[in-house]
Structure 1
């Protein structure tokens, strides 16, 4: 069985069990992930792509989005790899879909 895109126990620990704060944090993640993917979609220098991937890696770890974190880490290591970017896009889409389906 595939793990959930967001580790809700991790998120709850990070937000001290406050569901409202958790919802706000998830909303922030979705916006940040969208901005990061938009930046990555414009191409750019490898160092800039590494920085964007690193930023998304930190955000993903913060909410327990382990699949996004792994994909962002892979892109950070290989910023010119189109497959790594595609995998990151898929992981973000899965996390966003999961977040949208949460009862908040």
Structure 2
């Protein structure tokens, strides 16, 4: 089901519409960010998907420090741009922990899980 189909089904049943915390990606936020341009939505989602795959794999085993924090920061910005709220929150936490030298494996695991959920949601949109 494409982005438009998800949005249209949400309009048919407003009580079933996912909010920003019910869905890995807030499609209303995405539409606002792209001013309703469906092609731009697709491009933004594809860019996020590529970045999320590359960055989350690097961060899974990264050591604390500026390089890891910078990668998490990049992922956080990409996630915020498309409305991937849980990814942005996990990346923000990871970034701060990495800068403080207090990164734990659980921080990386949480980011990987949030990113995987957002990417799986993208696959559903393409179906």
Count of residues in Structure 1 that have an aligned counterpart in Structure 2? 104
Change (3 A) 1:45 1:82: closer
Is 1:60 aligned to residue 71 of structure 2?
no
Aligned to 1:96: 119
Which runs of at least 4 in structure 1 moved beyond 3 Å after TM superposition?
none
Q: CA RMSD in A?
A: 1.8
**CA separation in 1, counterparts of 2:68 and 2:126?**
34
Aligned to 1:47: 66
Q: CA deviation at 1:22?
A: 0.4
Structure-2-length-normalised TM-score:
0.75
Q: Any unmatched runs of 5+ in structure 1?
A: none
Structure-1-length-normalised TM-score:
0.91
What is the DSSP-based 3-state SS (H/G/I as helix, E as strand, rest coil) of the residue aligned with 2:125? coil
**CA separation in 1, counterparts of 2:84 and 2:64?**
26
Larger Rg, first or second structure (1 or 2):
2
